[in-house]
Amino acid sequence: MKREEVVQKNWRARKKHGSWLFVSSLLVFTLLAPTTAKLTGSLRHVSYGAEREIDPSVNLGNAEYNPKAKLIVTPDNQDTFFTTSANAHKDGNVVTLTDDAPSRKGAYTLFNKISLSESFELVGKINIGSRYEGYSPDGVTGGDGVSFVFTTKEPGVVGLDGASIGLGGIPNSFGFKLDTYHNTSTPNGAAKSDADPKFPGYQNGAFGAFYHTDGGGRARYAVSDAKRLTTQPTNNE
Protein backbone atom coordinates (compact mmCIF):
# COMPACT_ATOMS: atom_id res chain seq x y z
CA MET A 1 0.00 0.00 0.00
CA LYS A 2 1.51 3.29 -1.12
CA ARG A 3 -1.04 5.66 0.38
CA GLU A 4 -1.57 5.93 4.07
CA GLU A 5 -4.29 7.77 5.94
CA VAL A 6 -3.43 7.96 9.64
CA VAL A 7 -5.93 9.26 12.16
CA GLN A 8 -4.69 9.90 15.69
CA LYS A 9 -6.71 11.56 18.42
CA ASN A 10 -6.98 11.52 22.20
CA TRP A 11 -10.60 10.89 23.12
CA ARG A 12 -12.44 11.99 26.23
CA ALA A 13 -16.01 10.87 26.80
CA ARG A 14 -18.59 11.90 29.35
CA LYS A 15 -19.73 8.34 29.98
CA LYS A 16 -17.53 5.94 31.87
CA HIS A 17 -17.53 2.82 29.71
CA GLY A 18 -17.92 2.32 25.98
CA SER A 19 -17.58 -0.10 23.11
CA TRP A 20 -15.44 0.33 20.02
CA LEU A 21 -16.17 -1.04 16.56
CA PHE A 22 -15.14 -0.55 12.93
CA VAL A 23 -17.82 -0.80 10.26
CA SER A 24 -17.73 -0.82 6.47
CA SER A 25 -20.54 -0.91 3.93
CA LEU A 26 -20.26 -1.84 0.25
CA LEU A 27 -16.55 -1.10 0.07
CA VAL A 28 -13.16 -2.66 0.58
CA PHE A 29 -11.57 -1.84 3.93
CA THR A 30 -8.23 -3.28 4.94
CA LEU A 31 -6.47 -2.59 8.22
CA LEU A 32 -2.74 -3.24 8.39
CA ALA A 33 -0.99 -2.21 11.54
CA PRO A 34 2.25 -3.09 13.23
CA THR A 35 0.37 -1.94 16.31
CA THR A 36 -3.39 -2.20 15.85
CA ALA A 37 -4.26 -0.25 18.97
CA LYS A 38 -2.73 0.98 22.14
CA LEU A 39 -5.03 1.62 25.08
CA THR A 40 -3.94 3.35 28.25
CA GLY A 41 -6.01 3.24 31.41
CA SER A 42 -6.03 2.59 35.11
CA LEU A 43 -5.96 -1.05 36.17
CA ARG A 44 -9.52 -0.96 37.41
CA HIS A 45 -10.64 -0.02 33.88
CA VAL A 46 -8.59 -2.42 31.74
CA SER A 47 -9.24 -5.52 33.85
CA TYR A 48 -12.64 -5.97 32.13
CA GLY A 49 -14.85 -6.16 35.17
CA ALA A 50 -12.46 -7.07 37.97
CA GLU A 51 -11.92 -4.23 40.43
CA ARG A 52 -8.14 -4.35 40.58
CA GLU A 53 -5.96 -1.57 41.92
CA ILE A 54 -2.39 -1.10 43.07
CA ASP A 55 -2.23 -0.32 46.78
CA PRO A 56 0.20 2.61 47.16
CA SER A 57 1.03 1.41 50.69
CA VAL A 58 2.55 -1.85 49.40
CA ASN A 59 6.36 -1.86 49.53
CA LEU A 60 7.56 -2.02 45.93
CA GLY A 61 11.24 -1.98 46.80
CA ASN A 62 13.19 -0.14 44.12
CA ALA A 63 10.33 -0.42 41.64
CA GLU A 64 8.66 2.78 40.49
CA TYR A 65 4.99 3.08 41.42
CA ASN A 66 2.82 3.76 38.37
CA PRO A 67 -0.97 3.96 38.84
CA LYS A 68 -1.55 3.49 35.11
CA ALA A 69 -1.40 0.30 33.05
CA LYS A 70 -0.93 0.02 29.30
CA LEU A 71 -2.74 -2.52 27.19
CA ILE A 72 -1.17 -2.90 23.74
CA VAL A 73 -3.09 -4.76 21.05
CA THR A 74 -0.84 -6.12 18.29
CA PRO A 75 -1.40 -8.19 15.13
CA ASP A 76 -0.32 -11.24 17.12
CA ASN A 77 -2.84 -10.88 19.95
CA GLN A 78 -5.72 -8.96 18.35
CA ASP A 79 -7.91 -12.09 18.14
CA THR A 80 -8.06 -11.97 21.93
CA PHE A 81 -9.73 -8.54 21.82
CA PHE A 82 -11.53 -8.22 18.45
CA THR A 83 -13.90 -10.32 16.35
CA THR A 84 -15.26 -10.07 12.80
CA SER A 85 -18.92 -10.24 11.76
CA ALA A 86 -21.07 -10.31 8.60
CA ASN A 87 -18.80 -10.28 5.48
CA ALA A 88 -15.64 -9.25 7.34
CA HIS A 89 -12.71 -11.67 7.48
CA LYS A 90 -9.17 -11.66 8.79
CA ASP A 91 -6.14 -12.98 6.91
CA GLY A 92 -2.91 -12.73 8.87
CA ASN A 93 -2.44 -9.12 9.91
CA VAL A 94 -5.03 -7.84 7.42
CA VAL A 95 -8.70 -7.37 8.29
CA THR A 96 -10.96 -6.99 5.25
CA LEU A 97 -14.39 -5.68 6.18
CA THR A 98 -15.87 -6.03 2.69
CA ASP A 99 -14.56 -7.40 -0.58
CA ASP A 100 -15.04 -5.43 -3.80
CA ALA A 101 -18.51 -6.80 -4.56
CA PRO A 102 -22.12 -5.52 -4.41
CA SER A 103 -24.19 -5.43 -1.21
CA ARG A 104 -21.51 -6.25 1.35
CA LYS A 105 -21.11 -5.13 4.93
CA GLY A 106 -18.74 -6.11 7.70
CA ALA A 107 -17.60 -5.13 11.17
CA TYR A 108 -14.63 -5.64 13.48
CA THR A 109 -15.65 -5.17 17.10
CA LEU A 110 -14.20 -5.44 20.60
CA PHE A 111 -15.23 -8.32 22.86
CA ASN A 112 -15.27 -6.07 25.93
CA LYS A 113 -15.99 -2.48 26.86
CA ILE A 114 -13.14 -0.07 27.46
CA SER A 115 -12.95 3.07 29.56
CA LEU A 116 -13.32 6.21 27.49
CA SER A 117 -12.23 8.29 30.45
CA GLU A 118 -8.65 7.42 29.49
CA SER A 119 -6.71 8.32 26.35
CA PHE A 120 -5.90 5.76 23.67
CA GLU A 121 -4.14 5.72 20.33
CA LEU A 122 -5.09 3.88 17.14
CA VAL A 123 -2.45 3.50 14.44
CA GLY A 124 -2.96 1.72 11.14
CA LYS A 125 -3.42 1.87 7.37
CA ILE A 126 -6.76 1.93 5.58
CA ASN A 127 -7.60 0.83 2.05
CA ILE A 128 -10.94 2.33 0.99
CA GLY A 129 -10.96 0.96 -2.54
CA SER A 130 -10.75 2.55 -5.98
CA ARG A 131 -14.13 4.31 -6.40
CA TYR A 132 -15.39 7.50 -4.84
CA GLU A 133 -17.86 10.32 -5.40
CA GLY A 134 -17.36 11.54 -8.96
CA TYR A 135 -14.95 8.78 -10.05
CA SER A 136 -15.04 5.10 -11.03
CA PRO A 137 -12.36 3.20 -13.01
CA ASP A 138 -14.92 0.87 -14.59
CA GLY A 139 -18.21 2.77 -14.55
CA VAL A 140 -19.50 0.94 -11.47
CA THR A 141 -20.57 3.33 -8.72
CA GLY A 142 -18.97 2.63 -5.37
CA GLY A 143 -20.75 2.45 -2.05
CA ASP A 144 -20.20 4.05 1.32
CA GLY A 145 -16.94 3.82 3.23
CA VAL A 146 -15.68 2.88 6.67
CA SER A 147 -16.44 4.23 10.14
CA PHE A 148 -15.00 4.09 13.64
CA VAL A 149 -17.91 3.96 16.08
CA PHE A 150 -17.83 4.62 19.83
CA THR A 151 -20.87 3.63 21.88
CA THR A 152 -21.92 2.72 25.42
CA LYS A 153 -24.07 -0.14 24.11
CA GLU A 154 -23.09 -3.77 24.59
CA PRO A 155 -19.94 -4.97 22.76
CA GLY A 156 -20.68 -6.37 19.32
CA VAL A 157 -23.62 -4.10 18.52
CA VAL A 158 -23.48 -2.82 14.93
CA GLY A 159 -25.59 -0.04 13.44
CA LEU A 160 -27.20 0.20 10.03
CA ASP A 161 -25.22 -0.16 6.82
CA GLY A 162 -25.55 2.35 4.00
CA ALA A 163 -25.80 6.09 4.59
CA SER A 164 -24.84 6.10 8.28
CA ILE A 165 -22.07 3.49 7.82
CA GLY A 166 -22.70 1.52 11.01
CA LEU A 167 -23.65 4.38 13.34
CA GLY A 168 -27.33 4.85 12.52
CA GLY A 169 -29.68 2.95 14.82
CA ILE A 170 -27.36 3.19 17.85
CA PRO A 171 -28.65 6.04 20.06
CA ASN A 172 -26.39 8.64 21.69
CA SER A 173 -23.15 7.45 20.09
CA PHE A 174 -20.45 9.10 17.99
CA GLY A 175 -17.81 8.25 15.43
CA PHE A 176 -15.56 9.19 12.53
CA LYS A 177 -16.03 8.04 8.95
CA LEU A 178 -14.12 7.95 5.67
CA ASP A 179 -16.92 8.10 3.12
CA THR A 180 -16.62 7.45 -0.63
CA TYR A 181 -20.27 8.17 -1.49
CA HIS A 182 -21.89 11.51 -0.71
CA ASN A 183 -25.56 11.19 0.28
CA THR A 184 -26.50 14.61 -1.05
CA SER A 185 -30.24 14.01 -0.64
CA THR A 186 -31.75 12.95 2.68
CA PRO A 187 -31.88 9.11 2.81
CA ASN A 188 -35.17 7.34 3.49
CA GLY A 189 -36.35 7.12 7.08
CA ALA A 190 -35.23 3.52 7.54
CA ALA A 191 -31.60 4.56 7.00
CA LYS A 192 -31.69 6.76 10.14
CA SER A 193 -29.33 9.34 8.72
CA ASP A 194 -29.34 12.98 7.70
CA ALA A 195 -27.94 13.96 4.31
CA ASP A 196 -24.17 14.35 4.23
CA PRO A 197 -22.91 17.91 4.83
CA LYS A 198 -22.24 20.08 1.76
CA PHE A 199 -18.68 21.17 2.44
CA PRO A 200 -16.46 22.69 -0.29
CA GLY A 201 -15.70 20.04 -2.93
CA TYR A 202 -18.31 17.52 -1.77
CA GLN A 203 -19.41 16.81 -5.37
CA ASN A 204 -16.07 15.29 -6.33
CA GLY A 205 -14.13 13.19 -3.85
CA ALA A 206 -14.15 10.96 -0.80
CA PHE A 207 -14.32 12.77 2.53
CA GLY A 208 -13.84 12.38 6.25
CA ALA A 209 -16.32 13.50 8.91
CA PHE A 210 -17.02 13.31 12.62
CA TYR A 211 -20.67 12.54 13.35
CA HIS A 212 -23.04 11.41 16.11
CA THR A 213 -26.51 10.03 16.73
CA ASP A 214 -29.37 11.56 18.67
CA GLY A 215 -31.57 9.76 21.20
CA GLY A 216 -33.52 8.13 18.38
CA GLY A 217 -30.40 6.72 16.73
CA ARG A 218 -30.42 9.12 13.76
CA ALA A 219 -26.98 10.09 12.41
CA ARG A 220 -26.35 13.84 12.52
CA TYR A 221 -23.66 15.90 10.78
CA ALA A 222 -22.19 19.41 10.80
CA VAL A 223 -20.45 21.09 7.87
CA SER A 224 -17.61 22.15 10.16
CA ASP A 225 -16.89 18.49 11.00
CA ALA A 226 -16.44 17.29 7.39
CA LYS A 227 -13.69 17.77 4.82
CA ARG A 228 -12.71 16.36 1.43
CA LEU A 229 -9.70 14.02 1.59
CA THR A 230 -6.48 15.54 0.29
CA THR A 231 -5.47 12.24 -1.35
CA GLN A 232 -8.22 10.29 -3.09
CA PRO A 233 -8.34 6.45 -3.19
CA THR A 234 -7.12 4.91 -6.47
CA ASN A 235 -6.06 1.42 -7.58
CA ASN A 236 -6.94 -0.03 -4.18
CA GLU A 237 -4.03 1.83 -2.61
Predicted confidence at residue 113, as pLDDT, reads: 87
From CA 213, how far away is CA 170, in angstroms rounded? 7
CB 214 within 8 A of CB 173: no
Predicted confidence at residue 35, as pLDDT, reads: 34
CATH fold of 17-49+67-228 reads Jelly Rolls (2.60.120)
Predicted confidence at residue 90, as pLDDT, reads: 92
**CB-facing half-sphere around the CA of 130: CA atoms within 13 A:** 12
CB 111 within 8 A of CB 81: yes
| Sequence-separated (6 or more) residues with CB below 8 Å from residue 9 | none
* Class of residue 234 by CB neighbours under 10 A (exposed 0-12, middle 13-18, buried 19+): middle
From CA 177, how far away is CA 164, in angstroms rounded? 9
Q: What does the pLDDT profile of the chain (237 residues) look like in tens digits?
A: 434 333 333 333 333 345 455 544 333 333 333 333 343 333 333 333 444 454 555 554 555 555 666 778 888 889 999 999 999 999 988 899 998 888 889 999 999 888 878 888 888 888 888 888 888 888 888 888 999 999 999 889 999 999 999 999 999 999 999 999 999 999 999 999 999 999 998 988 999 999 999 999 999 999 999 999 999 988 776
Run of H or E including 70: strand 68-73
Three-class SS state of 188: coil
From CA 101, how far away is CA 98, in angstroms rounded? 8
CB 81 within 8 A of CB 92: no
| Sequence-separated (6 or more) residues with CB below 8 Å from residue 236 | 28, 100, 127, 129, 130
| Sequence-separated (6 or more) residues with CB below 8 Å from residue 74 | 34, 35, 36
Task: Spell out a b/e string for 153-169, using b for 16 or more CB atoms within 10 Å of the CB, else e.
Answer: bebebbbbbbbbbbbbb
